[in-house]
Amino acid sequence: MARFHHYVPKFHLRNFFFFFKSIGMFNLKHNKYIKKASIAKTAGSYDLYGEDQIIENMFASDLEGIWATQIKDIISNQSIDVRNKEKYYELLLFIYFSQVRTKKFADKMDTFVNDQVKIIAELSYIHDPEFRKLAPKSAFDKIMGTGTWGLRIPNLPYLQKPKYILDTISDLYPILLINKTSQNFITSDSPTVLYNSFIRDKGYVGPPGYGLVGAQVYCPISNKYCVALIDPVIYNINHHNHSLSID
């Protein structure tokens, strides 16, 4: 039986305008604001992490309870405890997974794999006589036009080995942004946002990344608090208490 996998945890959604098991949500596809959307069916997809439920159980049973407690402590204390290396690592894990566990990221990887398979197949058909013997050109073109290829769980490689990325993320400087304005933070179906104003100002048009010079990572954890990870070499962010109020 298919299960609904939340790629944005319910505890996270509750920190944004939570009202009796519902949340205010704007649906971009339909250009419609839903005042009370059910959290039970928000930011999730059926069997996104596979039918065996192994990955889903890892998130729901093992990690999300740890993250919920830690984020509650950050909000309560209005600070990030960077001295506790284990807790800080868990926070970085939450920020990273909030990017790569989403359906948006999975769909992006699925499209990438499909495109690469088609490119390789088309080049092989052109340059490899043995490959051309497998099917006539008309049949090959039909397969290329209608077929799909990829992993059952397209973002699986990113879910399996986060350590390599976390080693890079840990070089960034953490700041808790405290919103004291009337304009609240919001979250989305892709909670972690990567940006890089440094390379954008220099005309770079590629996607931002954790390891690029000038990296900026933002992950709102409630409507008043956002965890930011910033390249300390490029930006002037000498905040010894790792917090910054926005007035």
pTM: 0.89
What is residue 23's predicted lDDT score, i.e. its pLDDT? 86
Question: Which residue from 173, 172, 187 is spatially nearest to 222, judged by alpha carbons?
Answer: 187
Query: pLDDT digit string (tens) for 146-163?
Result: 777 778 899 999 998 888
What is residue 240's predicted lDDT score, i.e. its pLDDT? 66
174 with 80: CB under 8 angstroms? Answer: yes
Token pair of 191, please?
A: 């909670």
41-73: b (≥16 Cβ within 10 Å) or e? ebbbbebbbeeeeebbeebbeebbeebbebbee
- In whole angstroms, how far apart are CA 129 and each of 136, 138, 140? 12, 16, 14
Query: pLDDT digit string (tens) for 44-96?
Result: 999 999 999 999 999 998 999 999 999 999 999 999 999 999 999 999 999 99
Low-confidence stretches of the chain (pLDDT beneath 70): 1-2, 18, 20, 239-240
What is residue 18's predicted lDDT score, i.e. its pLDDT? 67
